Each structure stands twice: as C-alpha cells, then as structure tokens.
Structure 1
Amino acid sequence: MDLYLTGKTIVVTASSKGLGRAVAEQLAAEGAHLLLCSRNEDSVKETAEDIRRKFKVKVEAMAVDLSEPADIDRLVTYADDHFGRVDALVCNSG
C-alpha cells in the first residue's frame, strides 16, 4: 500500500526498540525520512544505522529525555536544522 510518505520527514519518539522501532521501519519502507530519538544514545544510533542501511532513506538519531523541556527544544531544533521541516510526529513515549 502506498501511503504517500516518500520524502516526508517523520519524528518517531522512543524508537530504538520495540514498537517504536517497528513503526520507524514501516515508515522507512514507505520512503519516509526519519528522526529517531530515545534516551539511550548507543541504541538509537544503532537502530538508525540499521534502518538507513536497509531502506536507503535519510535517518538521523539523537538521545533525548522527553520529560525535559530543554531536550524537546533540542529535538525540534535538530529536526529543523537537518530536515528543514517535520511532516509528522509519532509520539511513542509515555
């Protein structure tokens, strides 16, 4: 099914493993570019590299704690600096 996501930029929170990772992989399979985030930097960077290699889309990763307003600001700034826009947000964190 084509969800018309090719070239769209999507932020997926809590995306280093489990449901967040599965969602990110499906979005990448549809051609979306991704900004992944998780509290665990090593894990989210590994996930980003795996998805980038498998689906050939732009994937960035960063460690953030979404309970911290300053980290949310960093995430938004990073998305703007690296993608120029965000088309969708998948808020997978609690």
Structure 2
Amino acid sequence: MKEYIEERVLETSNYIVENNSTVRQCARQFGISKSTVHKDVSERLPQINQRLAIKVREVLDKNKKERHIRGGLATKAKYEKNKSLN
C-alpha cells in the first residue's frame, strides 16, 4: 500500500475516534468521498492497525444505531424552522 494512503487511513481513523464522527463528517473534513472513508476504515485500516480498527468500528456501530434519532431531530428542526418563517 502506498505511504500517502496509509497516512490518510490513519488520519481519518483517528479523526473518527477522537470526534465520534460519522463517515459523512469525516469525508467532509478531509475533502474525500464517503466511499473512500468507508473503504479506508473497513478494508485498509485492519491491515495497518487492528486496535484502531476496533475503536473505529465501535464508533461507527454506535452512529449506525443512533442515525434514526439524528434523522428525526433533523426533520423536526426543519419543520420548526419553516413554522417560524410563516
């Protein structure tokens, strides 16, 4: 694996763990696609750093369990904003 890819994998993985970030937030922060982040943390990271891969998986699993809540809150905020404009 090329060195710059390994560096990116470690940077994005550390960002996810330190900030409890979602794949989308991480992708936005680093200016890369969600697909790249996902491939980095699910396929490349376990080959580079198994312990970090486990930590990242825990954060992503937690985010997956909570995403329906975040979606509901976003919808609620959207309608409250529209309601206040009227």
On whether the aligned pair clears a TM of 0.5, the verdict is no
Structure with bigger RCO (C-alpha 8 Å, 6+ apart): 1
- What TM-score do you get using the length of structure 1 for normalisation? 0.28
